[in-house]
A and B are shown apart, each in its own frame.
Chain A
Amino acid sequence: MAIRRGRGVAAINYPTGMNLGGDPTQALVHSTPTGNFMVTLSSVDLGQGMKQIMAQICAETIGVPTDRVVVDTADTDTGPHCMGTFASRGTHRAGNAVIQAAREARQVMLEVAAEELEVNASDLETDGQGNILVKGAPQKSISIFDVALSAHFKRGRSISGRGMFLIPRSYPEKETGAMKPSTCYAHACTVAEVEVDDETGEVTVLTVKNIFEIGRALNPKMVEQQLVGGSWMGISHALYETTEPYYPNRDHGGTDFNQYLMPGPGDLAETEIIVLERPSADGPYGAKGPGEMCANPQIPAVANAVFDAVGVRIDTLPITPERILRALKAQAPN
C-alpha cells in the first residue's frame, strides 16, 4: 500500500460573452428627485452578484457612492431587453450598457450643475462622494442631491440615460472557419497537488494554486467568491461528477445529492487564488468574465497530477477511484 503524490499544471483561456456575439443588452439609468440613481435592466442575478456589480459600475460612472444606486432587474414589464445571464456575458455586456446609460445621465447632471454654478459643464468633475466640483476650484461645488432637486423641480430636466451594448454577430466562414468568437479572453493557470491511494484509487487534492487573469476585479471580494467556488467545481468535475456514471450506458444515474457526487466540506483542497488584471479593451472598466473559466483549469491539472502520482492516464472524466484502480491493475505485471 502506498499513498503517492503528484502534481500537475494546466493553462487555459476563455472567451467573454456569447460566442460569435450578436447578443444585445440594454440598460436605463435615471435619478430620483434626491439624487439617488435607479438602474433598470432585465438581466438575471444568478447569485454571482450581478446587481451589486451593476450598482458599482453605475456609481463609478455617475460619481456617487454605490449605496446611492438601486438596481431594478429581471422584470420584463420594466426592464429593457437583455439576452440573458450566461456565457460570462453579464458583467461585460450589461456593464457596458450601464456605463453608456450612466454617462448620458451624468452629462445631464453636469449640465444642470453647470447652470446652477454658472460655469461650463466641461469644467466640472465629481468627487465620488456625491458632490460636483469645479475643476481646480473645489470650493465651488454643489451636491448631487441639490442638482437632482433642481433638475426635477426647477429646470425640468430628466437626469437619465439609455445604454445599449451589442457586439455585432460574426458568421463563421464555411470552409475556413474564419470568425470572431469573442472580443476578449480571460486566462488562468492552475497547479494541483494530489495524493493517490494506489490500492483503492482514491484521490485527495491537497492544494490548488490558481492564477486567474480576469481583466479587472470590479469587486475583489465578489471575484474571490466566484473563483473559489469555481475552483471547487473544477475539482468536483475532475473527480466526482456525472449524471451517467456508466456512460454511454444510461443506468444508475443519481437522483439526489447523496448519489450525485460533489466534494463535501471535508474534502476541500487548500486553495490559493492569485488575480492578475490586464484590462480588456472593450470591457466595463476593463473587466472580463471570470465566472466560467475559473472552473476549467483544475480538471486537467488534477488529471495531470494523478498521472504524475501513479503513472496512469485517465482520459475519461470523471477520474473515479474505479478508473484509476482499473488502470493500475492493467499496468501492473501479473
Chain B
Amino acid sequence: MVSPVVLIAASLGFAFLYPLVERLGERAATRIALLVLAAFAGTTAGWTVSLIGSGVALTADTAGFVAPLSIQLQVTAVDALAMTVVTLLALAALVQLTERATDRWHGKQVVLFFVLLLGSYGLIMTRDLFNVFVFMEISGISVFGLLSTSRDGRVFEAGFKYMVASGLASVFFLIGTAFVYRSVGSLSIADITAAAPVALASPVGVMGLLFLVTGILIELKPAPANGWAIDTYQAADPGIGALLSAVNATAMVFVLVRVMPILAGASPVFVPLVLIAGAGAFLIPQAQALLQESFKRMLGYSSVAQIGLVVLAIVIPAAGVPFAGVALAVPLVLLLNHAVAKATLFWIADATGDDASGFGGSLPASLRGRPALLVVAAIAVLALLGLPPFPGFWAKWSLVMGLAAGGHIGLLVVVLLGSLLEVVYLGRWLIMRMRHVDDDATVVSQRIPADFAESRADAVSGAASGASDASGAAAGAIPVGATVSLGLATLLMAGASVAALLGSGVGMPVLIVLIGVAAFAVLDVLRIPLRLQAIVAIAGLSWWGVSAVSGAALTLQSGFVLLFVGGAVVQLVALLARPGRRAGLVALIVGMVLSLAALTAATSPLEVFVAWELMTLTSFFLVVRGRFAAAASVRYLTFSLASALLMLAAFSLATAANPAFGTGGGVIGTLTTSVPWAAVLLALSVLIKLGAIGLHIWLPSSYAEAEDEVSSLASSVLSKAGILLLFLGAGSFAAPLFAGVALNQVLGWIGVITALAGGMMALFQEDIKYTLAYSSMSQLGYMVLAFALMSHLGWVTALYLAVNHLLFKGMLFLAVAGIVMRTGTRLMYQMGGLIKRMPFSFVSVLVGIIAVSGVPPLAGFGGKWLLYTALIEQGWYLQAALALFSSGIAFLYLFRLIHSMFLGQRKTHHDTVTEAPAAVLIPQFVFLVIIIAISMFPNLLIKPLQTIVEPAFASSVRWEGYTVISSLGYWNGNAVMYVVIGVFLAPLLWLLAVKGRTYRVEQFNIVFAAERPHTPQSTHYAYNFYGHYQKAFGRLLDPWVERFWSGVSATAGTVSQTLRAWNTGNPQTYALQILLYLFLTYLVARGGL
C-alpha cells in the first residue's frame, strides 16, 4: 500500500510543479490535474477497501523516527473512506471549476486547489497536535487565496472577516497547544490522550484545553459565532462554497474527532460543552436560514448547521439499528452525506447562475423543464434533509435513537426542530425551482375571480398542467463540467445510498419501493408514453398485490395491502385518458403505492419509519406537480415531515424505554409503547397526516392543487396510511394519560371535531376540489373517532369507513377529474346542468354522494350505523350527536356539489361538452359496482373486517342471515335494499300510469316571474350556496387555525430575522462574538468545574 505521506508529498509536489505542467497548455494541464486527482482517488479507495473491516490503521512516521519524536500520519478505515469521498468530490469540483462557462480555474487557482486538498488530507491523517495547526493554516490560506476568484467584489470583505476569525481561532488553538505541551510534554495526540486523565485534569490543563477546543470549534464555524463564514459563503464563487463545505469542513471535523478523546479524558465538562456547542451550531443557523434571499447564503447556513449536527453525532454514541456498534459511523455518514449533497447544491447554483432562494425577490423556476437537473437537485435536498433512501437518513435515525437512549431529550428536541426548519427552507427552495412558471406560490385556498367572470385563464385546472411544462424557464445550457461533476456526485450519492440501504437491514418491501420507482424512472428516460407506463404499472401492481396477499390469512396488514394496491390499481386506469408523456408520474405513483404496501409489511419501527418517509416523499413529489401547487406543497412537505419527525421522536423515546419496542410482531399494536409521551407524539404524528383539526391546513390545498388523478389517489388511498398507523400503534393510546383520561378519549374528541369542522369548511368552498378535500378531512375525522373507541365495533367501523371512503372518494374525485378535464374549470358555480352532457359521471357522483352521506340503502349507511351503534354502546353520547350533526353537514355540501355541477342551468359554452373519457369512467364504475354489492350484502365487507379485528377484540355483534345485531340495535342491509326498491318502484309505476302527456323541456323553460331568464349563467344558483349558514355562524367560521399557523410562521420569521440580525456584517462584531464564544465556553466549563 502507498504510504500516507506519499499522498501529501504527491499533492504538494504537483502543486509546486503545476506551473511547469501548465507550459503544456492550460487544457492539457487541467486534464493532467484531473488524472492526478483520479490517482489520488484510486489510492484512497484502495486504502478504504483494504482497511475496512480489518481494524488496523495505516501508519507512517516521518523522518525515520517514531511517533513522539516525529510527526506521525495515520489512516484508519474511517479516515480512508472520508478521504476517498473528499477526493472524489474534489475531482468533481475540479472538473466543474475548470470546465465552466466563465471564470475557469487555471494556474495559481489550480495550485491553490491542490494545496487546499493537501491541507484537508493532512488534517485527516496527522496525529500531531501542532501539525494539525499547520494543516489548518494551509487549508485556510489556500481558501483565502481562492476566494478572489469570485466575481462578487464583496468577497474581500468576507474574506477579511474570515481571516480575522480564523486568526483568532488559530491563536486559541496555539494557546491551547502551548498549554497542552507544557502539561504533557508531547505533541503526539496518542501521548496526550494517554496522559490526559492525569496531566490535563488540573484546572490549568482544562483551561488550556478550553482554548484548544474553542479554537477547533471556531474553525468549524459554529453559531452564534459564525457570521464571517456565512458572509463568505454568500460572496464566494459557488465552486468555493462547494469546496468549503464539502472538503474543508469535512476535514476540519476530523480534528475534533482526534481531540475529543483528550477532552473526554481530561474532564467531564467537555462532553456537555461540545454537545451544547453542537446543538447551538445546529439549531441557530437553521432558524437564521429561514428567510434568506440568497441561495448561497442559505446554503452557508445549512452547511454550518450540518456540521453542528455532526459535532453532536461525534459525542453521542450511536444506537438503533443501522450503525449499531460501528464507531464514528454516524458522524462520518452524516458528514459525507452532507459533503456530497451540499457540493451538489453549490454546483447547481453555479450552473444555473441562480442565487435566489425563493424568499422575496424574484422567483425563477429555474429547474422547471430541466428534469435531469431537477432530479439531481431533489436528491441533494432530500439527502441533506436526511430522508430515505439517502445515507443521511440512517445516520439521523441512529443519532436520534442515540440521543433518546442517552436521555438527551433537550438535544432531541433541538435536532428535530432544526431538521424541521431545514425542511422549510430547503424544501421551499426546491419547490420554488420546480414549480410551474404561472404559479406565484400563494395558492393555498380556492381562487375565485373577483368579478365572477368566466375567466378561463384563471380557472385552468391541473388538467392542463402537463402541457406547458416545457415552456417553463428558458433552459440555458449547463456547462459540461457541471454535468460531469453533478453526475459524479449523484452517482456517489446513489452508490452510498444503495450501500447504506443494503447495510441497514431493512426488509424487501422497502427495497421494492425503490426498485419500483427506479424501474419506472428508467421507462421515463426511455421516453415511454404515459399510457403504456400506466398499463405496465397496473399489471405489475396487480400481480404484486395478488402475490402479496394470496394464500395469506386475512389480517390488518393484508387487508390494507388489498386496500392500497387495489384502490390504486383501479384508479391508475384513469391515466389511460392522458396522451403523451408525464415524466415521473407513474414512477411516483407506483412508489407511493409500494411504500404504502411496505408500511403494512414493516416489522420494525425502522421499517415503518422508512416506509412512512418514502410515502411522504413520493406523495410530495406527486403533489408538487400541480400547476399551482407550490405553496400547497410547501405546506404539505412541512407538515408531512413534521409528522415524520414526531414519529421519529416517538419511536426513539419508546425504544429508549424498551429496546424491544416494535418487535412484537403482533397483528395489531405492533408499535405499542408504554411511554405516555411517545404515545402522544405518535398520535400527533398520525393526526397531522390525517389532517386533524388544528393540524389540517396542509390537507385541503395539497389534495386540491395536485393533479386531478393524484388528488383522487391521495385522498382515497394515501390518506389511509394514517389509519393503518393508528392501528399499528393501537395499544399506545389506551393507557391513561393524566387524571384518568386516556389518549383515545382525546383522539375521539379530536376526531369528531375534525369531522364537524371539515364538513363545515367543505360547505363554503366554491372550488370543487377543495370541497372534496375538506370532505376527506371530515371523513378521516370519523375514522379517528371510530378507532378511538377501542372497541370491536369501533374498529370494525373505522375499517369499514376506510374502505367506504376509498370507494366513494375515488369515484368522486375521478368524476370531478373528468368534469374538470371537459369544462376547464374547478369552480362549481361556473359549471351546472352537466347531467345531460355527462350522464355517467352524474350517476357515479350520485352514488358517491349517497354513499358518503350515509343515506340508505347504499353502503354508506352501514358505516353510519356501525359508528353510532359503537359510539352509543361506549357511552360516547355527545360525540355520537356531533357525528350525526356533521353527517348532516356532509349531506349539505354533497348536495351542493352535485347540484352545482350537474343540475341547474347549463352554461351555453358547455353545450358541446362531452362525457368524460372511458378510462376515467371505468374506475368509477368499478367502485360503483363494489359499492352496490356491499350495500346489498353488507356481510361481504363487515364479516372480513370482523375477522381482522377479532385478534384484538371479541366480536360484539352477531349475525342473523343478513341482519347484523348489536347490543343496541340491528340492521338488515339486504331487507332495506328490497324495501327501498319496493317503495321506489311503486310510486314510479303509479306516476307512469297517471301522468298525462309529459313534455321534455329545457332547463331554461322555467317560470320566472313572467319574465324570461337572461342567460343560463345568471340563472344558476350556485355561488355562495349556503350563505345563510355562514351568516348564522358568524365569527365561529373565522379561519382560526389558518390564523394560528400564520402566526406561527410569522413568529418563526421574526425569530429568524432577530437571529439573523446577530450577524451584523462587521468584522469587529464577529471578533467580539468569537471572544464571547470563548467566554461562554469558559462559563459553561466553569459551571461544570
Q: Do A and B come from one complex?
A: no
User: Could you tell me which B residues sit within 8 Å of A by CB distance?
Assistant: none
User: Could you tell me which A residues sit within 8 Å of B by CB distance?
Assistant: none
